[in-house]
Amino acid sequence: MDTDRVANSSDTIKTSAKKASQRLTPEIVDEVDRLLAGRTRDIRLSADLAGLFRARSWSSTAKIIRAWMAWVIVLDVLTLAVNAVLLSPGSVVPMLAPASILPPVALAVGAVFLKPRPLWMQDTAIQLGMFLILLSVALVAVNAGGEYYERHLTIMIFVAVTAIIIFPIPLKWSMSIAVFALSLYLVFQLQNPDIRTGSALAGALFFASGVIATLVARRTANILAHKTFLLELRDRARLAELTDANSRLELLARTDPLTGIANRRWMMETLNRAWSEDLEPMKGVAILMCDVDHFKQLNDSLGHGEGDRCLVKVAGIIQSSLRDERDHVARYGGEEFLVLLPDADGQDASTVAERIRSRVEAASLPNPSSTLGPYVTVSIGLAAYKRGGESVSSEMLQRHADKALYLAKRAGRNRVVIYPADAREVQR
C-alpha cells in the first residue's frame, strides 16, 4: 500500500511525461534528431511524422479553410452586387447561374473540415472544391464579356493565390490549385475575342510567374512549420526524459531501497501533512513503533544477507497487516518501522499492532540466536491521540510510541505496549 503511495506522490509529473511523450517512439525521436541535424531546406517528414503533424495542426488548418470559404462566398455575393450596379440587367442575369455554383461548393468544403476526416477525403474536398470555385469565377468572366471578361479572370487568379498563401496544406495540394487557376485562365483567355493569342499567352506567363513565386513562398512556409513542429517534438521528448528522470529520483528519495516501502523522510513529511490538517473530523490518530527483536544476533549468526531478507519480509508482513489505504508504514531506521494509523483510536491501533506481532511470529523467520525462541519476533510501542483529548504534536506522539517500545523491550519483547496505560503496568 505505501509503496503505491510513494509512487503516487509523483503521479502528476508522470502523467505529464506520458502525455508529452505520447506516440513518440524511439524511431520517431531518432528521425526528428536526424532531420534537425540537417539543413532546413532538406526537411521532409516521414509518413509517421506527417501524420503527427496533421493531427497537431488540423484544428488551425480547418479553421483557416472554413474562414476562407466564408470569405469567398462573401466575395462572390459582393461581386454580383457590384456588377448589378455597374452592368445592365441583361448582362447580370447570365452571371447568376455560374456564380450560384460557388456558395454551395464552398459550404460543402467547409463542412468537410468541421471535424477530422480521412486524408483522401480532405484532399478530394480541397482539390475538387477549389476547381469548381475557380471555374465558377471564370464562367462569370465569360458571361460578363467585354472589359469584365479579363477582369474576372484576374479575380480568379487572385482567389487562387490567396488560397495558396493562406491554406497550410501539403504542397502538392497547393500546386493543384495553381495548375487549375493557370489552366482556366489560359483556356478562357485564348477564347477571349477581344485579345490576341500572344497577349493571352503573355498574360498567362505573367500570372504564372507570380503563382510560382507564391508556391515557393508556400513551400518555405511549410518547411518552417515542419521545422517548428520538429523542434516541438524534440522538446517534448526531452521534457519527457527529464520528467521521468526527476520522477525516478523523487521516488528513490522517498523509498527505502532495501524493503521498497517508504523511508523516514517520506514518513516525516506525511506526519507533518497529517498534523497540518484538522484532526478533529477523525476519531483519533495512532503511531506504532515496531522493532525486530534481537536483530543484531540474527546478523551475527546468519549474516547480513539473511538479515536483509528478514527486514524485507517483516516490511511486507507489516504492510499487509494494515487496514486500508489510509494507513502508512515506513522503515524508520535499521530494524525499526513506524506505522501511522489515521482515523484510529487506541482499540483500532491495538488490533493492528497485535495482528502485526502475531503474523511476524507465525511467519517462522529464522533467528536461532534469539533468547525468545528460534524465530523472528517484533516488539511494538503504541501511542494514540483521541479526538477531544489534550492536544499533542506528531513529535510528542512519536516519543510516546518510542517510550512504549522501550518498555516492551524491557518487559521481555515480542509484545505490544500501549502508552500510557500499559506503560504503567510494565513499570510496576
Helices (H), 145-196: 147-166, 171-190
Q: Which of 82-91, 254-263, 346-355, 372-381 has the lowest mean pLDDT?
A: 82-91
Question: What would the CATH number be for the domain defined by 262-427?
Answer: 3.30.70.270
Residue with cell 497577349: 199
| Euclidean distance between CA atoms 280 and 388, whole angstroms | 7
Helix 295-302 × helix 304-321 angle, to 10°: 140
Q: In sequence order, which residues have a C-beta less than 8 Å from that of residue 165 and are 6 or more positions away?
A: 214, 217, 218
Q: What is the pLDDT of residue 17?
A: 40
Please identify which of the residues 335, 361, 390, 395 carries the catalytic annotation. 335
Q: Which three cell numbers stand for residue 307?
A: 538479515
Contact yes or no for 83/92 (Cβ under 8 A): yes
Domain extents for the chain?
A: 8-236, 262-427
Cα distances (angstroms) measured from residue 104 to each of 145, 148, 189, 396, 414: 25, 24, 26, 79, 87
Q: What is the pLDDT of residue 7?
A: 47
Q: pLDDT tens digit string along 293-339? A: 999 999 999 999 999 999 999 999 999 999 988 899 999 989 999 99
Mean pLDDT along residues 413-424 = 80
| Euclidean distance between CA atoms 180 and 173, whole angstroms | 11
Mean pLDDT along residues 154-179 = 93
Question: At residue 352, what is the residue type?
Answer: V
Check residues 282 and 409 and name the one with the higher pLDDT: 409
Residue 335 is a catalytic residue: yes
Report the relative pairing of strands 378-386 and 416-419 from DSSP bridges. parallel
